[in-house]
Structure 1
Amino acid sequence: MPDWITTPITADLLRGVLDLERTAHGVLPHRLPARARARFPDDYLAMVEAQPAGVRLAFRTRATAVELDVLPTRTAYRGMPAPPEGVFELLVDGRPAGRATVPGGNVHTIDMATRSATTSPGRPGTARFAGLPPGAKDVEIWLPHTEITELVALHTDAPVEPARDRGRRVWLHHGSSISHGSNADSPTASWPVLAANRGGVELVNLSLRGNALLDPFVARALRDTPADLISLKIGINLVNTDLMRLRGFTPAVHGFLDTIRDGHPSTPLVVVSPILCPIHEDTPGPGVADLDGSTLVFRAIGDPADRAGGRLTLTVIRDELARLVEHRAADDPNLHYLDGRALYGEPDVAELPLPDRLHPDTATHRRIAERFAGWAFAAGGPFAPGHG
């Protein structure tokens, strides 16, 4: 048996978090700061911001064995099969070196019909990794992106120290469940993580499943987070929640951008409109989830005729975002617009259909990442070194 060393899990061992809450079991990473979390009483938003999309432990060590004790809370949907256990991914010097899952833990069950939820408590478990190469190395453990993960203890067979600063630029991204990584099969398979790797940047992913809704407290969190590059993917949640009309949408986007610019006045900032989603292109929300056998699928139930009264569709949002960014860019040369259909559009639907009619699968995340990185980080792109 290894001679284990237990290292306290502190903020300097974590990347992609804005806050660390001490719990009865250990610490809980948060992707929104405490002052932002105090601004919303919504249980679903509280759940998704605590799901550690893009969050990883990062340390340097000579260890050849690592164990991470955690208490997971996975989300289940009433009437659906039990969700798979979340994946912990180990990287050594930036290369994949192992995967692990942790059985047990808490189960948070949501009734999609009533939006009510119950939580069944469980016990902590351990993600184990062995056979790491000898010698000093940089180790990352990426946490499951769609299940809350309380960090209980880190055990290694050699001392650890915080990872070195590699001098990479920080990319701050905010978006919906698609950017959060929904339907990607592992935490490093979401399109923002893949694009960050291609661009050689450090990702802070503030994407919130179902909650990219132009909330002012999110804009303030983005404003106050250090970043060299910023992107916002705006639209799908505003349609499928049927949250606002065009009259409210335009000033809300302006206000969101104004707040971010208060803290990042000249940082390259890309506004990305929605990828193609046939159910919402010309049909307003709300969107509803249906059980199709054992599969969850989504559909839009709004009336297309209501577009005349300002009801939002993806087509309406793309047109307005393009107009709004063009207008602002006259005084803000570091503000850019990307039509989301350049990432996933009509030619892609037949080859890579959205499995639940809303979220891309792993292969589609890869395509979106390749296209975004090829545009944003290329020479002359808004995220190219030296741009802005």
Structure 2
Amino acid sequence: MDVVDLVAAGEDFVRNPFPHFAALRERGPVHRAHLPGGYHAWLVVGHQEARAALADPRLVKAFPNEPGEPEREPAVPHLLNTDPPDHTRLRGLVAREFTPGRVAALAPRVQEIADRLLDEMLAAPDRRADLVSAFSFPLPVTVICELIGVPNLDRDRFRDWSRALTAARPEEMPKVKAAMTEYVDGLATAKREEPGDDLLSALLHTTETDGDRLSRAEVVGMVWLLLVAGHETTVGLISNGVLALLGHPNQLAALRADWSLLDGAVEEVLRYDAPVMAPAVRFAAEPVEIGGTVIPRRDLVLPVIAEAGRDPARFLDPDRFDIRREPRGHLAFGHGIHYCLGAPLARLEGRVALRALLERAPGLALDSDPAALSWQPGMLTRGPLRLPIRW
């Protein structure tokens, strides 16, 4: 099978990968590809095929060992790099505390944070700002830090770590990992001695009273996952949502005229321009046949969940942005045992952010040529690095 070179497509692919994925889908569901970042993987495109791959137990998170090889354990174990039974145990512990009730109770605080950030942004004398740095990024990072229980004075450090982790600069990873590990160790020790009304305190207390104590590495992994996965999806959701609405004035006008369309608008953004292109990596635990192609054991497999939302076999006229459409069935938060636990929080933040911004920024408009926007590189997250706006 020929290797599809998406690196050669350059910025054209980074800005708008959907025509490239559509061309692949026309040729079949599985393709060996050279991807931004310099690595190779098997891409699975098409809604039905990607959904099946996400739930396929033969596609595992831990790199399969050969006979006689020592067992490899992730240095920072968390929900996105473990398989059952470890994944089942960790997910059960987190899900017990990360409940719908806890998320729903955050709504007033999310609104307060959004209003404060907009107070600061809208005070700009020239009525211009970069939405990402002023609003899309600080909102979910502040929320997740409060949820975890990170003290106010330490939140700038968490923001810096998060930027470094999501920028995918390999040379920075060891330093960031060491700093985060040292900090989270100290934070967990403090929460054990003096618990607060936060998720980390509750999780540590629950595991200790049940006799299933999180290891040091698991605490670090859990906080790591909450920090990155707990906000990065929402950064893209807000930015991609604003960009889509500004690019479709009739849809923007319809939403401003009828806020009952807000939930549907959030779901349509997730379908139309999902903030995650492909979920965390999977490996073939054995030779796996998908769509007539056999993927060799230990090869990297990426179901392209962003492309699945543009599959005409699942969604009518999928390249049309329509906040009144019935978008159920998109895969923006994954599928199967690794379905995103933070989906309710991301949806809550997306609803609050879009409504607050659109209500408080009359005449909101893009302050840049859309073709000039720079986008997140790679195959993980999708969203503009900056989004210049005016009002």
TM-score normalised by the shorter chain: which range applies? under 0.3
What TM-score results when the alignment is normalised by the length of structure 2?
0.22
Q: Which has the higher strand share?
A: 1
What TM-score results when the alignment is normalised by the length of structure 1?
0.22
